[in-house]
């Protein structure tokens, strides 16, 4: 299949591009490089530097690529920043998706896989999270993702768009061969931050509260390996039903505490990784983990990376060999 990948120079997108190529697809990456890295894009993919907010460039790139499906990763991802700058996030995540859908409708492209998030759910009263639980995001970031899910449902009804929104839990780890990995600036994700301590790039790791109702008092999250996420996308793109908007959790179904992640990093790196307890961050639910039953049934997908030490180990292979991330060739 010819596939058009927005945000394919970013963390999750770049791993998916590789998996799509390995599955025999022809890939065009469309990325503004606002947060992505040219060096993360597999050289076998066609690369177009462009912004989804620039409708003319987008139209022309989509026309040249003539894709049968679009995988839409592009967007801004920082929850805290979205609280400070909601207009920026609605523009970057909702308006850009609107442009993409307009261009797709014009050109008759009727398949999309969308990067959604567990942040669309209301902080849960019971776990694991099942797709039908109430959606009521507590951040503008989550709201923008939910707004796109609504758009996809409305386009399914109106012009037959088929889509699968994958609601990721915490994307983690790096390619097994250590050649591509996570390089966000600023970094806000736990595993890379912990590994930066092991690299001597920060003195310690701040634990945001140790008085949650969890076994060791720290928050529980579901760490899904980025290669497992990539495999879910490859399965999803082949499974889209015309005229249907579907929503699937992509997580392991297993939660790990912040302390457990730090312990795994200590064991993998051999570094003591000093930690310090600071105040809770407002809005952090004590625990989040997926019920992956629906994705297993619907796509025949299940995670291969189920050992937290191996997930952290894959991240360490990347960070220890690329301590400053990618060379930014822009
Ligand atoms: N990382 C996670 O744990 C996680 C969890 C849930 C959902 N998601 C979603 O997955 C997607 C990918 O996340 P990521 O961690 O790879 O982020 P990322 O920042 O590494 O990648 C996003 C990419 O999109 C590009 N981009 C942003 N705005 C653009 C625009 N207007 N036009 C063209 N390109 C643009 C950036 O340059 C970057 O390469 C995002 O939509 C994010 O919301 C990520």
User: Which of 9, 12, 221 gets mutated to test ligand 1 (max ligand atoms within 8 A of its CB)?
Assistant: 12
> With contact defined as beta carbons under 8 Å apart, do 312 and 268 qualify?
yes
β-bridge mates for residue 256, sequence order: 221
Is 185 part of a structural domain of the chain?
no
In this structure, the residue with its CA closest to atom 43 of ligand 1 is: 77
Ligand 1 in reach of 33 Cβ (< 6 A): yes
Would you give the DSSP letter of residue 9? T
Summarised one tens digit per residue, pLDDT across range 236-287 is 999 999 999 999 999 999 999 999 999 999 999 999 999 999 999 888 899 9
Share of the chain above pLDDT 90, in %: 96
Is 309 part of a structural domain of the chain?
no
Cis peptide before 224 (omega within 30 of 0): no
- 34: CA distance to ligand 1 center in Å? 10
Instruction: Taking residues 196-213, report their average pLDDT.
Output: 96
Shortest-distance atom of ligand 1 to CA 35: 37
Is 82 part of a structural domain of the chain?
yes
- pLDDT above 80 (res 329): no
Helices and strands counted in the chain (H then E): 11, 13
Is 276 part of a structural domain of the chain?
no
Task: Report d(CA 224, CA 50) in Å as an integer.
Answer: 29
β-bridge mates for residue 46, sequence order: 28
Would you give the DSSP letter of residue 121? B
Ligand 1 in reach of 51 Cβ (< 6 A): yes
**Alpha-helix runs per DSSP H in the chain:** 11-22, 55-65, 79-84, 86-89, 96-107, 140-159, 190-198, 226-239, 258-269, 293-299, 308-321
User: Which of 4, 18, 70, 75 gets mutated to test ligand 1 (max ligand atoms within 8 A of its CB)?
Assistant: 75
Task: Report d(CA 10, CA 241) in Å as an integer.
Answer: 27
- Kindly state the tokens that stand for 225: 């390996």
CATH number at residue 143: 3.40.50.720
Shortest-distance atom of ligand 1 to CA 170: 3
Residue 281, pLDDT score: 87
Which is it for the CA torsion 94, 98, 100, 105, positive or negative?
A: positive
Centre a 10 Å sphere on the Cβ of residue 52 and count the other Cβ atoms it contains: 25
Share of the chain above pLDDT 70, in %: 99
- 76: CA distance to ligand 1 center in Å? 6
Summarised one tens digit per residue, pLDDT across range 50-84 is 999 999 999 999 999 999 999 999 999 999 999 99
Is 147 part of a structural domain of the chain?
yes
Which of 258, 185, 180 minimizes the C-alpha distance to 226?
A: 180
Q: What is the pTM of this model?
A: 0.97
Shortest-distance atom of ligand 1 to CA 34: 37
Ligand 1 in reach of 73 Cβ (< 6 A): yes
With 0-12 / 13-18 / 19 or more C-beta atoms within 10 angstroms meaning exposed / middle / buried, residue 83 is middle
Residue 283, pLDDT score: 82
Task: Report d(CA 105, CA 102) in Å as an integer.
Answer: 5
Domain that holds residue 60: 2-172+223-250
- pLDDT above 50 (res 44): yes
- pLDDT above 90 (res 327): no
Is 179 part of a structural domain of the chain?
no
- 40: CA distance to ligand 1 center in Å? 13
Task: Report d(CA 220, CA 212) in Å as an integer.
Answer: 9
- 239: CA distance to ligand 1 center in Å? 23
- 74: CA distance to ligand 1 center in Å? 4
In this structure, the residue with its CA closest to atom 23 of ligand 1 is: 7
Is 9 part of a structural domain of the chain?
yes
Q: Which of 11, 121, 141, 212 is catalytic?
A: 141
Sheet with 46-49, side-by-side order of all strands: 46-49, 26-31, 2-6, 69-72, 111-117, 162-168, 245-250
Summarised one tens digit per residue, pLDDT across range 122-170 is 999 899 999 999 999 999 999 999 999 999 999 999 999 999 999 999 9
Task: Report d(CA 137, CA 124) in Å as an integer.
Answer: 11
Number of domains in the chain: 1
The mean pLDDT of the chain is 97
Shortest-distance atom of ligand 1 to CA 172: 3
> With contact defined as beta carbons under 8 Å apart, do 100 and 92 qualify?
no
Maximum distance among all alpha carbons in the chain?
Answer: 56
- 97: CA distance to ligand 1 center in Å? 12
3-state DSSP call for residue 257?
A: strand
Task: Report d(CA 36, CA 53) in Å as an integer.
Answer: 16
In this structure, the residue with its CA closest to atom 2 of ligand 1 is: 171
- 270: CA distance to ligand 1 center in Å? 31
Is 142 part of a structural domain of the chain?
yes
Which of 284, 305, 280, 296 minimizes the C-alpha distance to 223?
A: 305
Is 89 among the catalytic positions?
no
Which of 325, 323, 249 minimizes the C-alpha distance to 288?
A: 249
Shortest-distance atom of ligand 1 to CA 168: 6
Centre a 10 Å sphere on the Cβ of residue 312 and count the other Cβ atoms it contains: 26
Ligand 1 in reach of 12 Cβ (< 6 A): yes
């Amino acid at each position: 299949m010819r596939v058009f990948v927005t945000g394919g120079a970013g963390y999750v997108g770049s791993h998916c591009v590789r998996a799509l190529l390995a599955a025999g697809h022809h890939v065009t990456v469309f990325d503004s490089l606002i947060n992505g890295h040219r060096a993360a894009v597999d050289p076998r993919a066609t690369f177009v530097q462009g912004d989804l907010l620039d409708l003319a460039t987008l139209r022309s790139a989509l026309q040249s690529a003539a894709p049968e499906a679009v995988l839409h990763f592009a967007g801004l991802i920082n929850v805290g920043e979205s609280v400070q700058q909601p207009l920026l996030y609605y523009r970057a995540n909702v308006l850009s998706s609107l442009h993409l859908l307009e261009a797709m409708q014009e050109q008759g492209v009727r398949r999309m896989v969308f990067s959604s998030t567990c942040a669309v759910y209301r902080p849960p009263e019971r776990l694991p999270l099942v797709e039908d639980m109430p959606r009521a995001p507590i951040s503008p970031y989550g709201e923008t993702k939910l707004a796109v899910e609504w758009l996809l449902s409305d386009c399914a009804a109106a012009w037959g768009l088929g889509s699968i929104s994958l609601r990721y839990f915490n994307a983690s780890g790096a390619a097994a061969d250590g050649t591509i990995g996570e390089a966000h600036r600023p970094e806000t994700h736990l595993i890379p931050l912990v590994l930066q301590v092991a690299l001597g790039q920060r003195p310690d790791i701040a634990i945001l509260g140790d008085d949650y109702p969890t076994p060791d008092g720290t928050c529980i999250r579901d760490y899904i390996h980025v290669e497992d996420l990539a495999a879910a996308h490859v399965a999803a793109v082949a499974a889209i039903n015309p005229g249907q908007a579907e929503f699937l959790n992509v997580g392991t179904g297993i939660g790990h505490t912040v302390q457990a992640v730090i312990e795994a990093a200590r064991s993998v790196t051999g570094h003591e990784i000093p930690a310090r307890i600071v105040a809770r961050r407002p809005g952090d639910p004590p625990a989040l983990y997926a019920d992956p039953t629906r994705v297993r049934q619907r796509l025949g997908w299940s995670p291969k990376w189920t050992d937290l030490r191996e997930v952290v180990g894959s991240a360490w292979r990347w960070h220890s060999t690329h301590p400053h991330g990618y060379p930014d060739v822009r």
